[in-house]
Amino acid sequence: MPVLFLRWSFTLSTLSVYSILLTDLPHLQTLIRQSGFFGYSLYILLFIIATLLLLPGSILVIAGGIVFGPLLGTLLSLIAATLASSCSFLLARWLGRDLLLKYVGHSNTFQAIEKGIARNGIDFLILTRLIPLFPYNIQNYAYGLTTIAFWPYTLISALTTLPGIVIYTVMASDLANEGITLRFILQLCLAGLALFILVQLAKLYARHKHVDLSASRRSPLTHPKNEG
């Protein structure tokens, strides 16, 4: 119940921020940019909290693109997403299985990921980061319970999230500054095509490495008694 309350509180706060973004964007951009390191740190902290509460980071990536622009927004979101996934990973190792499943739920997802790592190691991590088989933030916790080492996990997580972060940030920045134009629509189509190709390449990599993802797709993502 406390976790659910925190999730809803954070979600409502995020929606409030979005309403400000839509109504007084230039003033907010100026204010945050003038705050410098404090503004950057606050954004990263909010990203980490959202990830720990299992809220979608894409919302904050979009906000980062709107407020900070494409280049700085991409850099800050990459740093924030990497730190957030690392914090979830370390928290899982600190809490242990019993406490974590009580907090997060999704026990079947955890089991599927543990089996995948046991069978295929790093390859399974790469593929599940690129192919959306499981909720991303749940993966962060689940990998903390596997035998995978911290630094390979962190590096692979950063590299595999970068394409999505770039696309979300650039598109959000362009939409905020220029609105819906022909150029924006073309960029949106190209971005969708790029992500589709990336997923198909990941599937080819899975076949090349003989990684069986069908068992993961058949595994239910949640368990009725453990849904968080």
From residue 128, alpha-carbon distances to 148, 181, 215 in Å are 14, 34, 13
Residue-level pLDDT at 134: 85
Q: For position 158, what pLDDT does the model report?
A: 96
User: What parts of the chain have a pLDDT lower than 70?
Assistant: 1-29, 103-106, 213-228
Q: Where are the domains of the chain?
A: 2-218
Residues pairing with 227 in the sheet = 105
Query: For 152-164, what is each residue's pLDDT tens digit?
Result: 999 999 999 999 9
Quick check: 198 and 167 in contact, CB under 8 A?
no
Q: What is the maximal distance between C-alpha atoms in the chain?
A: 53
What is the residue whose two structure tokens read 């003989």?
210
Q: What is the pLDDT of residue 82?
A: 97
pLDDT for 27: 64
Q: Take residue 96 and report the two structure tokens written for it.
A: 């242990």
CA distance 47 to 52: 9
149 φ/ψ angles, rounded to the nearest 5 degrees: -75, 155
How far apart CA 206 and CA 212 sit, in angstroms, is: 7
| pLDDT computed for residue 206 by the predictor | 80
In whole angstroms, give the CA distance from residue 72 to residue 65: 8
Non-local CB neighbours of 210 within 8 Å, separated by 6+ positions: none
What is the structure's pLDDT at 105? 63
